[in-house]
Chain A
Amino acid sequence: MSTVRNDTLREFLLWFVAIVFAALIQTNWPHLLRFQEVTPDIIMVLVVYFAVEHGEERAMFTGVIGGLYQDVTVNTTLGHHVLCYVLIGYTIGSLATRLISEHAAVKAGLVLLASFCQGVLFALIQYALQPQRGILYPIVTNAVPIAFYSAVITPVIFLLVDRIFHKRKVISGGIL
C-alpha cells in the first residue's frame, strides 16, 4: 500500500515538474521553438495529453498551473489563460472517453481543435476585457498559426511524455 502511495506521489511530482518545465519553456524560452514568429502552445498539448490519458481533472489542473505561469509572465489578469485551459481540458477530457483511436494524427487533430478553441476563447475574453483590440485579428494572426504549429509538434511531445509516464507504468507492473 505504501509502495503504491510512494509511486503515486512520485508520479504526481513528476507530473508537476513536467508542467512547470513546459510552462517555463513556453514563457521564458519561446524562441527555442519559434518558427516564422509562431510559437507552439506546449501547455495546450500537455493539457490534451493528460485529458486523453488521465481524464479531465488532471487536464484541468495542468491548465491551472500552466495558465498561472503564463498569466504571470505575460502580465495578463490572473485567470485569463487559466479559464481557457480549464474549459478546454474539461471538454477534451470528456470527449476523450469516446476517443477510440490511438493514431497520432487523431491526437494531433484533437490538439489542433483544442488549441484553436483555446485561441478563440482567449480572444473572446480579451475582447470582453478590452473591446478596442478587436476579435478577428487575434484569431487570424495568433490562434490559427499556433493551433497548426501545436498540432505539428504534438506527436513528438506525446511521444516524450508517454515515454516518461507510460514507461514507468510498464516497469511498475501496471500497478498504477
Chain B
Amino acid sequence: MNAGRIVSEYRPLVVLIVLSALSLFSLATGTEGTVIHHGIARIVKVTSYPFLKLRYVTVNTPVRIYHFIADYNAVYTQNKELTREVAELKKNEAVLDNIRRENMRLRKMVGFAAEQPRFTLKPVAILESYRGMLHIDAGALAGIKPSMGVITGDGVVGVVTEVGDFTSTVATLHHMDCRIGAMVLRNRLRAYDGVVQATGTDFSHLCVMEYIDMKYEVGIGDIIVTSPESQFPAGLPIGRITAVRSGDGLWKRAEITPFVDPYRLDEVMVIIKAAEEQEFLSGSPVMPLRDVGGDGIVTNSQSTAPEMPDIRPVQERYAP
C-alpha cells in the first residue's frame, strides 16, 4: 500500500493531524507579530469590510429615514433657526472685520505718528469723498488752517483748501486744486515749476510732473517726494513715476501714480505743525525749573550743560 492510497483512505484523519499540528505550532510559537498573522489579519479585514459597510448602511439608513420623517418639523425649525443664526453671525463677522480693518489702520497711523516726532499730527475722520475732494471731520475750531498738509502712513494725500468751523475740505492729488512742491528722490530733480499736480481729468488717477528739462534723467519707477520748498516737510512720499513722455519742445513730462488712493481712506492726518529741521535736531526748548513733591528740591530733566558765553558787544549788552 503506497502513501497516496493511505492518505486518500484516511484523508479526514490526515487533515485533522495537519490542521492540529499547524494550530499547535502556531500556539506554541506565538505568531501574533509574524507575517502570516498580519497576512491573515489583512485578509480577514478586507473580506469583512464590505460586510461592515453593508451593515452600516442597512442599520443607519432606516434610522436616518425614520428620523427624517419623524423629526421633520424639528429639523425644519432647526434649519430656520440655523439660517437666522448664520445671517446674524455673518453680520457680526462683517462688523468685526470692519473693526479689525479700522484697528489696523489706526495702529498704522499711531505707528506713523510715533515715528515722526517732528510732526504735530491730528487724526481726522473722512466724512465724504467726491471727485478728488475730501470733507474731513475737523475745522477751524480744531486748529485746522488752509494750506495745511494732509497725509497718511503711506504718503501725501493732499492740501486743505477750505476750512469751516467744524469741517474742512481737502484737495487730493486727484484734484486740480492740489499742487505740491516735489522732487525726484533719487537725484533731487525738480521740474521747472517745481510741482506735482493732477492731470485734470476725472477719469485718471494719475498726477503729473510737467516741465522737466530734456537733458535731465528721469526714469520709470523713480519715487517722487515732497521738496523742501513745499508746504509739507521734505521727503514725504508722493508717488512713483509710471511713464515719461517727451514732447516736441524742451520739456519732458512724467506721469506719477500716487501712493495714496483717497477713495479708499477712512481717516487721514493733518499736519498741524512741522518742526523746522534745526529745531528737530536740537530738541525742544529747555523747560523751566519746577518744584517736585513740594520739598523745595527743584529738578530739571533737561540738559545741565553750562550756558554759552554771551558774545554780544558790550555796548549792546548794556544799552538802555
Residues of chain A having any CB pair with chain B under 8 Å? 20-21, 24, 27-29, 55-57, 60-61, 64, 68-69, 72-73, 75, 77-80, 82-83, 86-87, 90, 93-94, 125, 129
B75 within 8 A of A: no
Cβ-defined contact, B20 with A86, below 8 A: yes
Interchain CB contact under 8 A, B37 and A78 = yes
Least Cβ distance of A148 to chain B in Å? 27
Decide if B20 touches A83 in the complex (CB within 8 Å): yes
With both beta carbons as reference points, the residue of chain B lying nearest to A32 in the complex is identified as B55
Q: Once bound together, how far apart are the Cα atoms of A158 and B89, in whole Å?
A: 62
- Say which size band chain B's interface belongs to: 20 to 34
Instruction: Please list the residues of chain B having a beta carbon within 8 angstroms of any beta carbon in chain A.
Output: 11-13, 15-16, 19-20, 22-27, 30-32, 36-37, 40-41, 44-45, 47-48, 51-52, 55
Q: Decide: A73 and B27 in contact? CB cutoff 8 A.
A: no
Measured between C-beta atoms, what is the minimum distance from A97 to chain B in Å? 11
Closest to A75 in B: B32
On chain B, the residues within 8 Å of A125 by CB distance are 27
B interface: dominant SS: helix
Bound-state Cα–Cα, A69 to B11, Å: 25
Question: Among the interface residues A29, A64, A77, A94, which one has the most CB atoms of the partner chain B within 10 A?
Answer: A77
Q: Is chain A's binding surface mostly helix, strand, loop or mixed?
A: helix
Output the least CB separation between A27 and chain B (Å): 8
Question: Smallest distance from the beta carbon of B117 to chain A beta carbons, Å?
Answer: 74
- Name the contact of B24 in the complex, choosing from A20, A27, A79, A94 (C-beta under 8 A): A79
Q: Is the CB of B19 within 8 A of A78?
A: no
5 contacts between A and B (CB under 8 A): A28-B52, A60-B16, A75-B32, A79-B27, A79-B31
Query: A29 and B55 in contact (CB under 8 A), knowing A57-B15, A72-B44, A77-B32?
Result: yes
- 6 tightest CB-CB pairs across the interface, nearest first? A79-B23, A79-B26, A83-B23, A72-B44, A78-B26, A24-B51
- Minimum C-beta distance from A87 to chain B (A): 7
Query: A24 to chain B: which residues have CB within 8 Å?
Result: 47-48, 51-52
Q: A72–B51 contact, CB under 8 A?
A: no
Q: How distant is B99 from chain A, measured CB to nearest CB, in Å? A: 54
> Contacts A28-B48, A28-B55, A69-B44: A77 and B16 contacting too (C-beta < 8 A)?
no
Task: Assess whether B48 is in contact with A57, with CB atoms less than 8 Å apart.
Answer: no
Please state if B55 and A55 are interface contacts (CB–CB under 8 Å).
Answer: no
CB neighbours (8 Å) of B16 from chain A are 56, 60, 86-87, 90
Contact A55 B12 (CB under 8 A): yes
CB distance from A82 to the nearest CB of B (A): 5
With contacts A29-B55, A69-B44, A86-B20 taken as known, whether A78 is within 8 angstroms of B31 at the C-beta atoms is yes
On chain B, the residues within 8 Å of A75 by CB distance are 32
Contacting residues, chain A, for B30 (C-beta < 8 A): 77
Check if B23 sits within 8 Å of A82, measured CB to CB.
yes
Decide: B27 and A129 in contact? CB cutoff 8 A: yes
Closest to B59 in A: A29
User: How long is the Cα–Cα vector from A80 to B41 in the complex, in angstroms?
Assistant: 14
